Structure 1
Amino acid sequence: MGEARPGRMPDMPIGTGEAPEALLRRLGAAARRVETPCGEGRMAWHVWGEGEPLVLLHGGSGSWRHWVRNIGPLSRDRMLVCPDTPGLGESAMPPEAGTPAPVAAVIREGIARVLGPGRRYDLCGFSYGALLSGHVAAQAGEELRSVTLVGAGALGPKRQVTELTKVRSLEGEARIAAHRHNLAALMFADPRNIDALALAVQEWNTRHARFVSRGFAGTTGLRDAIARARCPVALIYGERDAIAWPEVELRFQALRAVQPEAWTGVIPGAGHWVAYEAAESFNAMLADMLRRRIGR
C-alpha cells in the first residue's frame, strides 16, 4: 500500500512466437504491484512506466490483461496504472451496492493511495470500465484531468442482444471453442483476429471473475454520471462494436446531450475490444486525444 514507484517496462513485443501465458507472466512481473483496501479485502494495482499518470480500467469479467497490447506502447511516455477492479481478477469483492457509484468510490480512493493525494491523472475505461470511469469522474475534483470512455454502454440507446455461451461447466476443447464463440460474438469484428493471446486473456479473466456487471449496461447510469464530469470527456468506439453497431452515432448524440464539448472517435473495422483488435490505431487515437484535449 502507498504511493507507487513505477515498474520498469521492458520491450513487450506481441506476436513474436512467445507463448501467451509466458508473455502475460513477463508483463505482470515487469509491473510495480500495489494493494489498496477493497471491501473486506484488497484491490490489486499494476504500474508500468514513468511520467504523467494514465489510469486504465478494464471491461466486465476482465482484468488488467484487457490492456495487454496497449501497456508497452502507452507506457513509453506515461505512467500506466492498471487495477483489477473490485470483484474481478485478483481484487476482492466490493461492498454490496445497487449502483456502480460505491465501486467507483473504492477505485477513486485507491487511485489517490497509489499516486499520492492530489496528484493529477487521466482516466480511460473500457466497457464496464467506462461506466466506472464515468462515476469516478462524477465524484472527482481537479485531480482528474480527462476521462476517455471506450466501447461504452449505459448511455441510453438500447443495445443489440448478444448471445454468449456459458463456459463455467466446460473444459478442454469445448471450453476453448466457447471462448472463441463469445469473443467473436461480442468482442471482435473479425473472428480471424482472435489469436492465442486473446484466448489466453479470456480464459484467465473468466476463471477469476466473480462480480457480475452486465445488468448495468442497459441503464442510463453512465450518461447520468458523466453529465457531472468537470474535465474534458472523450468517447471511442470500434466501428463494428457489437454493443453499438449500427447506431454508434446515437451514442455520440447521447453523450453530447450532457457533455456538448465531448471529443468522439471511431476506429474503422474494429469491434468492441478495440484496444486489442486494433491496438495500433487505438493507441494512436488515445494519445492524440490526450495531446489535443489537454496538451499532453
Structure 2
Amino acid sequence: MPDMPMHHPEAPEAVLAALEAAARRVETPCGAGSMAWRLWGEGEPLVLFHGGSGSWRHWARNIPRLARHRLVVCPDLPGLGESAMPPPAETPAPVATLVREGLAGILGPGTRYDLCGFSFGALLAGHVAAQAGEELRSVTLVGAGALGLKRQVTELVKVRSVEGEVRIAAHRHNLASLMFADARNIDPLALAIQEANTQAARFKSRGFASSTSLKDAVARARCPVALLYGERDAIAWPEVELRFQALREVQPEAWTGIIPGAGHWVAYEAAEAFNAMLLDMLRRRIGL
C-alpha cells in the first residue's frame, strides 16, 4: 500500500474509495445501532482514534505507511462517520467503555495493542487508558485538549446551510483556522475529507475541550504515555510546553514531541514526519 503525497494526482474521491476498498470492515454494538471499524494490514494492532466531527478518513495519509508495519484499526467513533450515536453520557468515560468493549470484541479479550488518538480521539484514548489493563501497551495523544489549560477561541463558519463554492470556501476557512498551520497545504483530498466528515457528524465533542477530563483520566494510565503536537497547533499555540508540563504532572515519564511547522491536524499536514515520529516512539518505548 503506497504512501500518498500531499498533492495526489488522482481525484480525492478515488483515493478514499481505494483506501476504503482495501480495508476489512467490522461492526460492533453501539447504542441503538452499530459502530463501524476498518482494519488494514496485519501484525501487532495499532488503533487510531480520529478527531471530533471526523471519521477514519482523518488518518488517510497515515494508514498506508503504518499498515506496512502493523494491523491498523480505525473506528468511526460513536455518533460520527458511519457509527450510531452512543447512549447519552455526561462524561467521555461511558463512550470510552463502549469503544473499548468493541475493540475487545474485534481483537479478542486480552489482545495487546497500542492506541493513538487525535484531538477528541485523544480524550477518548485517555479514558480508555484509565480503564484498560495490560492489554493496552501504550497510548499516544495527538493535538490533545482537556488538560486544564485555556485555549484560544477558534471561530468556525457553519456549513450546513450553504452549498457549492460557498460551502467549499467555508471548509477551506475552517481548515485554515483550526486544522492547518499553512493554508497552502489544504489540498483537494483534505477538502473532500472535511466534506465527508461534516456530512456524517452528529456527536458534539467541543464542550469537553476546556476541561481537565483528559488530564484526570490519563493520570490513571498504567502504560507508557506520549503527547505530540504540531508546532503551530491552533489549540495549543503559543503555549505547547505548558501542555507538556500539565501531562508530566500526572505522568512524569511521558514522552513528548513537536513536529515543526504543522498545525492541529498534524497527522495529515505533516504526514511523513508524523508517521516517522509515531513509529519511532513505538519502537523506542515498546520495542516494536
2:82 pairs with one of 76, 84, 90 = 90
1:114-171 CA distances to partner (integer Å, 9 max, x unpaired)? Answer: 1111100000000000000000000000000000000000001100000000001010
8 Å contact 1:58–1:128 — kept in the other structure? yes
Unaligned 5+ residue runs, structure 1?
Answer: 1-9
8 Å contact 1:12–1:27 — kept in the other structure? no
Matched position secondary structure for 1:110: helix
1:226-251 CA distances to partner (integer Å, 9 max, x unpaired)? Answer: 00000000000000000000000000
One-letter amino acid of the counterpart of residue 32, structure 1: R
Structure 1's consecutive aligned runs of 4 or more residues displaced over 6 angstroms after TM superposition are: none
Instruction: Report the counterpart of residue 170 of structure 1 in structure 2.
Output: 162
Matched, 1:45 2:37: yes
Instruction: Report the counterpart of residue 243 of structure 1 in structure 2.
Output: 235
Matched position secondary structure for 1:249: helix
1:197-276 superposed matches below 5 A: 197-276=189-268
Distance in 2 separating the partners of 1:194 and 1:16: 12
Instruction: Report the counterpart of residue 133 of structure 1 in structure 2.
Output: 125
Unaligned 5+ residue runs, structure 2?
Answer: none
Instruction: Report the counterpart of residue 275 of structure 2 in structure 1.
Output: 283
2:4 pairs with one of 13, 16, 33 = 13
1:46-68 CA distances to partner (integer Å, 9 max, x unpaired)? Answer: 00001100000000000000000
Instruction: Report the counterpart of residue 97 of structure 2 in structure 1.
Output: 105
Distance in 2 separating the partners of 1:253 and 1:12: 34
8 Å contact 1:104–1:133 — kept in the other structure? yes
- CA gap 1:16/1:158 in 2 versus in 1, 3 angstroms: closer
One-letter amino acid of the counterpart of residue 13, structure 1: M
Distance in 2 separating the partners of 1:261 and 1:150: 17
CA RMSD of aligned residues (A): 0.7
Quote how far apart the aligned CAs of 1:16 are: 3.9
Instruction: Report the counterpart of residue 158 of structure 1 in structure 2.
Output: 150
Quote how far apart the aligned CAs of 1:106 are: 0.6
Distance in 1 separating the partners of 2:221 and 2:44: 20
Percent identity among equivalent residues? Answer: 79
Quote how far apart the aligned CAs of 1:12 are: 5.2
Matched, 1:80 2:69: no
One-letter amino acid of the counterpart of residue 228, structure 2: I
8 Å contact 1:241–1:270 — kept in the other structure? yes
| TM-score in terms of structure 1 length | 0.96
Distance in 2 separating the partners of 1:130 and 1:294: 19
How many residue pairs are counted as aligned between the two chains?
287
Matched position secondary structure for 1:163: coil
1:55-96 CA distances to partner (integer Å, 9 max, x unpaired)? Answer: 000000000000000000000010000000000000000010
Distance in 2 separating the partners of 1:236 and 1:132: 16
Matched position secondary structure for 1:35: strand
Quote how far apart the aligned CAs of 1:17 are: 1.2
1:178-198 CA distances to partner (integer Å, 9 max, x unpaired)? Answer: 000000000000000000000
2:46 pairs with one of 54, 77, 81 = 54
| TM-score in terms of structure 2 length | 0.99
Matched position secondary structure for 1:236: strand
Distance in 1 separating the partners of 2:284 and 2:4: 28
Is the deviation greater in 10-19 or in 38-47?
A: 10-19
